[in-house]
Structure 1
Amino acid sequence: MTTQTTASKTADAPTTGADTGLIGIPPHLGRALATGGGVLTVLSTFLAWTWTAEFPGDLTVYGYPGGLQVLVLIGGALTALLGLASYGVKGLGWLAPAGADAGLKLAALAAFATAWYTVVAISTQLGGVVNLEPGGYVVAAATLIALLGSLALPFQRPEPDPVDPDDTGWEQFKHSAAQNWQTVRAAFASGTPRPGRALPSYAEILIIVAVLAVALLVFTYGIGTEYDELFVGFLIMAGLGFAALNKSGLIGRVTQITARHQNITVCGAFVAAACFPFTQTDDQYATLGVYILIFATVALGLNIVVGLAGLLDLGYVAFLGVGAYAAALVSGSPSSPFGVHFPFWAAVLVGAAASLVFGVLIGAPTLRLRGDYLAIVTLGFGEIFRIAANNTDGTSGPDLTNGSNGVSSIPDLKILGWDLGIQHDIAGFTIGRFANYFFLMLVITAVVVLVFRRSGDSRIGRAWVAIREDETAALAMGINGFRVKLIAFAVGATLAGLAGTVQAHVTYTVTPEQYLFAGTTPPNSAFLLAAVVLGGMGTIAGPLIGAALLFLIPNKLQFLGDYQLLAFGLALVLLMRFRPEGLIPNRRRQLEFHEEADAPAVLSKTGA
């Protein structure tokens, strides 16, 4: 066996060529400790970690991991596998195309963080470390050994920048901190990926199927976490585990495969999503699923406005409200002053058309503005819509929206005789009300994705990108900037209204307070914009994943109470600091923040 080492350079610092680790353990011993610690971590999950079942997850059983033990088991297994891959074990090279050392450090950190979080949680909730069983001590020691061993792996340190003796003490401290940060970055830098072996098309398609199956499994596990401690552990393991696989080059290799089969990947993703309700035993988590799809669809519509055309819209949630109100008023609600009950397809057209009209009416006089001025105007429109909906109650204004009480008792949809409000049995599976709406929303999401892909790759899509990059240059090249921006505004508003028509029936009631600029729960304009930026502007998968995270995390972290927004804000600050291009950026935007050599491959120019 041959030992692989990752000797990567940071993009912005020269290197000395000296390969040393962060801590003073011999590299060969550190590699052995990391690999052995990973194996010991796996074994420790089969021991009892506490003596009482009062801690959620029942960690008292020998021979059967449960709760947080499963997550630590995954982290330990990943650490052990990357450790073996770093030794050059045959059959594991696929796991680390860019070298195993950087991924090994992050995998060990993932196992350590999850295990020690569990140990601390047990000690805190049950009243001290005396409540730990031997397995708790073993996993704490094993993960610490693995982490220390991984930090001893060699890497090329940046060339030290001499300190100016005339600097003040504070300036010297900042200089030292910057040098230390460069060293840490170099320690976790990945190497240059090895060229992949050419695979037949059927093998690559099977890999895509496997990846989508894993993604469905991870999402189902995350959405089904039953207690707070397990969800926090899931976030730790999922985040650091993904980072480890990304640094090892596996994510980049899979991305290259999906880029060669974009249509199959997109279709497979929708098939995997359609399987989600069949993995649930009741309608509880299908509720979250349908709300996530509504939020994600609206975020994808905003991505046309912000991500492709570069127009900062801070009142976008109002278009969702326009579509929801328009559909609610013509869908047979007793609160509607019109007293009509349109079929679903007609209500959808009314909602989408109403949002389109409002998009044109708002965009026509305002899109000649740029930057912050446009953002202020759109923010004002969002507030005007909410206030107007509050006042059109028959007292302060015309009787249209029933004021703050909203349009209530909106009946469930019936499509081709299929009542979405009742349970149905399909192939032995019971599909509840929210699962029915989940399937409907999945179809609408597919339509929005199709519109985004086709428009992004079209002539008008290229004009949007040109306007976003440099409007003055685009105008000089003959692009009609006002018309192009108005089309983006109108298309984005229409897609939001389309999602709003379904939201009205899912929630039974439409009220003005559902469409705020900012709040603790999405959808609101601030969260929608955050979903686009978090996921990756100008891509398809980015806003969908960003919206899923931003809806699921606040829902699961309600135990934080008033500190929820603080934690959310800190997470966004860290993301913007370390990955400003978003989780799934397109190639152009990624190169704005990284050198060519450091920018991993992405799916396409629109991130399909």
Structure 2
Amino acid sequence: MTNTHETTPVIPLPEAGARLATTVGAIATLASTFLAWTWTDEFPGDLTVTGYPGGLQVITLVGAALTLLFALAGHGVRGLGWLNPARSNNAPLLIALGTFGTTWYTIIAIAQELGGIANLEPGGFVAAAASLITLLAALGLPLHRDTDPASSGLKKALATVFGIGGTKLARPKALPSWAQILVIAAAFAIGLFVASYGLQAESEQFVGFLILAAFGVASLSRSGLSARLKALTTEHRKVTVIAAFAAAAAFPFTQNTDEFTLLAVSILIFATVALGLNVVVGLAGLLDLGYVAFLGVGAYTAALVSGSTASTFGVHLPFWAAALTGAAASLIFGVLIGAPTLRLRGDYLAIVTLGFGEIFRITMGNLDGTSGPSVTNGPNGVPNIPDLKFFGYDFGAEHTIGGFTLGSYANYFWLMLLCTALVVTIFARAGSSRIGRAWVAIREDETAATAMGINGFRVKLIAFALGATLAGLAGTVQAHVQHTVVPEMYVFAGPVPPSSAFLLAAVILGGMGTITGPLLGATLLYVIPTKLQFLNDYQLLFFGLALILLMRFRPEGVVANKRQQLEYHENDPIDVPEPRQSEETGAGIAKAGA
């Protein structure tokens, strides 16, 4: 009788030694976070307390704990196999690298800001040495290497460590439906906690958070946990949508002040506009460099009809009417601009849309009663936009819900969350519809699509008008959130988003043609410049370097569209699953042969 039970694999002695050293180093790194790293509390986070980690020590603590768990999972500790279903040694290496980067960044920052390594306490030296030992030990683990003969040099090295290629997973144990739903809910709860922590982190602490988060995401991907979670969310789509919306809606309850809630509202506005641009660029393939102007059209329209004391119209419409008016105005402008220009292609269309964006900004600055008609107050814009009042609910007042006192921006956060959900639904429905398939056909080859009977001009005009409408809708909320609208808010390229350049970068960085891609890209491009303001003029330098590296090694974006991923990696090998052999299949084959 054949034994069907799996046997515990025998780990070679060098690998066992490397795992043991990684485990010991992770424990030492974890213990070092309970020691004082510096003697003064002038460094952000107060790293002077012994017995209680604070600031960047907490991030090192989390990284060391994850490294320890991955190392124990590699040792075959019962109950931890789920942590590394791919059985990859790259996962502990990546998280150890992230922990090392965070720890050494902290030590260097302390020495630089306080004036030398003399400001370090023994705990800082212990943390630096322990994290280095952990990383060196993790480097001794045999890695899962890229076997593609066409890959070479840096690309092959990155594919080896970060797992650009596919990841083979061990067959998981079947979980009951209720357990799968709990896993999905827990994943979104953890995501909410991590996002809240990252938004509240100070500048130095945010850099450490960013380092560990980047390597942590890579390690989860390499371990196979991301693929497992994606399979669960695909199987339970409705539960996933509900859990995602509930986690996002719970964000204001995790905040003590309105500071970071306002940041979250701005992120949602930027992400919604980026998703609207994704209709134009990602689906229809139209390069629009003046898209932020449609956001301005919606914002200015809402500002002028919402009862502002500076409005020249003297109209005060309810919000739903102001929102519809702003969206309709953006739609009209989209059709008026698109009708004479969408017969152009490529660079010519990009130049025309860039000109439209600049014309809009200059025109809004000239409608001041001196250079032109008195409509927008010129460079002063439209200030004193009142808070929304929707069915008696004052968005500008604090409200108590379940014992939590929430500020005014929590109300705008929920309103913008509903707008984002509406835009996501429209994008998903339009992308999978007949017109959406026509957009993709135009994007891939307009000549071939036209030859097959698709009216290219009409299809592109619909995409342009829909994208403009979605941007205008987001603009109506932006006007009430910021209580003022000025022309300088709608430029082609500025130090802080939203701008046309940042919107386009968010779509490309996140992944054209996807839903989560632009949302993720917009979040990163808004949060990182806001948190790293101490870099001043170097922000754009690092931003440019990041874009260069991304376009070189992952041109399809962070969240890749499958079609474009195949196009960009058409020479990469495809993992073909091996057929499973068992007694039943063998008996079936024998019976068929007989």
**Above 0.5 in TM-score?**
yes
1:587 Cα deviation after fit: 2.0
Which shows bigger deviation, 209-218 or 45-54?
Answer: 45-54
Matches of 1:46 and 1:574 in 2, distance apart? 37
Matches of 1:3 and 1:111 in 2, distance apart? 29
Matches of 1:547 and 1:502 in 2, distance apart? 17
1:181 Cα deviation after fit: 5.7
Q: What do residues 564-586 of structure 1 show as CA deviations (whole Å, max 9, x unaligned)?
A: 11122222222222322222222
Matches of 1:291 and 1:156 in 2, distance apart? 41
Matches of 1:447 and 1:160 in 2, distance apart? 43
Find out whether 1:248 has 2:236 as its counterpart: no
Find out whether 1:374 has 2:349 as its counterpart: yes
Is the alpha carbon distance of 1:160 and 1:385 closer, same or farther for their aligned partners in structure 2, counting shifts above 3 Å?
Answer: closer
Residue 128 of structure 1 is matched in structure 2 by 116
1:303 Cα deviation after fit: 0.9
Matches of 1:262 and 1:106 in 2, distance apart? 30
Residue 362 of structure 2 is matched in structure 1 by 387
Find out whether 1:460 has 2:435 as its counterpart: yes
Secondary structure of 1:430 counterpart: strand
Aligned-partner residue type, residue 88 of structure 2? A
Residue 12 of structure 1 is matched in structure 2 by none
Residue 519 of structure 2 is matched in structure 1 by 544
1:301 Cα deviation after fit: 0.7
Q: What do residues 268-311 of structure 1 show as CA deviations (whole Å, max 9, x unaligned)?
A: 21211111111111211111011111111111111111111111
Matches of 2:340 and 2:448 in 1, distance apart? 22
Matches of 1:498 and 1:363 in 2, distance apart? 18
Residue 477 of structure 2 is matched in structure 1 by 502
Find out whether 1:338 has 2:308 as its counterpart: no
Q: Is the 8 A contact 1:299 1:543 kept in 2?
A: yes
Find out whether 1:432 has 2:420 as its counterpart: no
Find out whether 1:302 has 2:282 as its counterpart: no
Alignment counterpart, residue 208 of structure 2, candidates 226, 230, 233: 233
1:457 Cα deviation after fit: 1.4
Matches of 1:358 and 1:477 in 2, distance apart? 30
Residue 38 of structure 2 is matched in structure 1 by 50
Secondary structure of 1:444 counterpart: helix
Alignment of 1:140-289 (within 5 A): 140-155=128-143, 179=153, 182-183=156-157, 185-189=159-163, 191-225=167-201, 227-289=202-264
Find out whether 1:573 has 2:561 as its counterpart: no
Find out whether 1:35 has 2:9 as its counterpart: no
Find out whether 1:471 has 2:446 as its counterpart: yes
Residue 103 of structure 2 is matched in structure 1 by 115
Secondary structure of 1:425 counterpart: strand
Which shows bigger deviation, 333-342 or 496-505?
Answer: 333-342
1:344 Cα deviation after fit: 0.8
Residue 447 of structure 1 is matched in structure 2 by 422
Is the alpha carbon distance of 1:389 and 1:596 closer, same or farther for their aligned partners in structure 2, counting shifts above 3 Å?
Answer: farther
Q: Is the 8 A contact 2:198 2:206 kept in 1?
A: yes
Matches of 1:47 and 1:2 in 2, distance apart? 38
Alignment counterpart, residue 95 of structure 1, candidates 67, 74, 83: 83
Find out whether 1:360 has 2:335 as its counterpart: yes
Is the alpha carbon distance of 1:447 and 1:4 closer, same or farther for their aligned partners in structure 2, counting shifts above 3 Å?
Answer: farther
Secondary structure of 1:72 counterpart: helix
Matches of 1:216 and 1:179 in 2, distance apart? 38
Q: Is the 8 A contact 2:88 2:144 kept in 1?
A: no
Matches of 2:324 and 2:554 in 1, distance apart? 39
TM-score between the two structures when normalised by the length of structure 2:
0.91
Query: Which runs of 5 or more structure 1 residues have no equivalent in the other structure?
Result: 6-18, 20-24, 162-174, 601-608
Q: Is the 8 A contact 1:460 1:484 kept in 2?
A: yes
1:159 Cα deviation after fit: 8.5
Q: Is the 8 A contact 2:270 2:498 kept in 1?
A: yes
1:26 Cα deviation after fit: 3.8
Residue 588 of structure 2 is matched in structure 1 by none
Is the alpha carbon distance of 1:157 and 1:233 closer, same or farther for their aligned partners in structure 2, counting shifts above 3 Å?
Answer: closer
Residue 53 of structure 2 is matched in structure 1 by 65
1:52 Cα deviation after fit: 2.0
Q: Is the 8 A contact 1:330 1:336 kept in 2?
A: yes
Q: Is the 8 A contact 1:356 1:490 kept in 2?
A: yes
Matches of 1:596 and 1:417 in 2, distance apart? 60
Q: Is the 8 A contact 1:307 1:538 kept in 2?
A: yes
Matches of 1:530 and 1:473 in 2, distance apart? 28
Q: Is the 8 A contact 2:180 2:232 kept in 1?
A: yes
Matches of 1:160 and 1:242 in 2, distance apart? 24
Matches of 2:409 and 2:147 in 1, distance apart? 58
Is the alpha carbon distance of 1:506 and 1:98 closer, same or farther for their aligned partners in structure 2, counting shifts above 3 Å?
Answer: same
Residue 15 of structure 1 is matched in structure 2 by none
Matches of 2:224 and 2:41 in 1, distance apart? 40
Matches of 1:178 and 1:338 in 2, distance apart? 65
Secondary structure of 1:399 counterpart: coil
Which runs of 4 or more aligned residues in structure 1 lie more than 6 Å from their structure 2 counterparts after TM superposition?
156-161
Q: Is the 8 A contact 2:90 2:219 kept in 1?
A: yes
Matches of 2:111 and 2:492 in 1, distance apart? 41
Alignment counterpart, residue 421 of structure 1, candidates 396, 414, 419: 396
Aligned-partner residue type, residue 395 of structure 1? T
Q: Is the 8 A contact 1:99 1:191 kept in 2?
A: no
Is the alpha carbon distance of 1:424 and 1:469 closer, same or farther for their aligned partners in structure 2, counting shifts above 3 Å?
Answer: same
Matches of 1:486 and 1:599 in 2, distance apart? 42
1:133 Cα deviation after fit: 1.8
Is the alpha carbon distance of 1:597 and 1:74 closer, same or farther for their aligned partners in structure 2, counting shifts above 3 Å?
Answer: farther
Find out whether 1:534 has 2:522 as its counterpart: no
1:481 Cα deviation after fit: 1.4
Matches of 1:55 and 1:155 in 2, distance apart? 38
1:559 Cα deviation after fit: 0.6
1:90 Cα deviation after fit: 2.2
Alignment counterpart, residue 322 of structure 2, candidates 335, 347, 359: 347
Q: Is the 8 A contact 2:90 2:144 kept in 1?
A: no
Aligned-partner residue type, residue 125 of structure 2? Y
Is the alpha carbon distance of 1:323 and 1:558 closer, same or farther for their aligned partners in structure 2, counting shifts above 3 Å?
Answer: same
Q: Is the 8 A contact 1:82 1:100 kept in 2?
A: no
Q: Is the 8 A contact 1:532 1:546 kept in 2?
A: yes
Residue 171 of structure 1 is matched in structure 2 by none
1:358 Cα deviation after fit: 0.5
Q: Is the 8 A contact 1:3 1:86 kept in 2?
A: no
Task: Kindly tell me the number of residue pairs found equivalent between the two proteins.
Answer: 567
Matches of 1:99 and 1:487 in 2, distance apart? 48
Q: Is the 8 A contact 1:83 1:100 kept in 2?
A: no
Q: What do residues 120-168 of structure 1 show as CA deviations (whole Å, max 9, x unaligned)?
A: 111222222222222211111111111111112224667999xxxxxxx
Residue 553 of structure 1 is matched in structure 2 by 528
Residue 8 of structure 1 is matched in structure 2 by none
Which shows bigger deviation, 343-352 or 262-271?
Answer: 262-271
TM-score between the two structures when normalised by the length of structure 1:
0.89
Matches of 2:419 and 2:144 in 1, distance apart? 50
Matches of 1:464 and 1:499 in 2, distance apart? 23
Q: Percent identity?
A: 65
1:191 Cα deviation after fit: 4.5
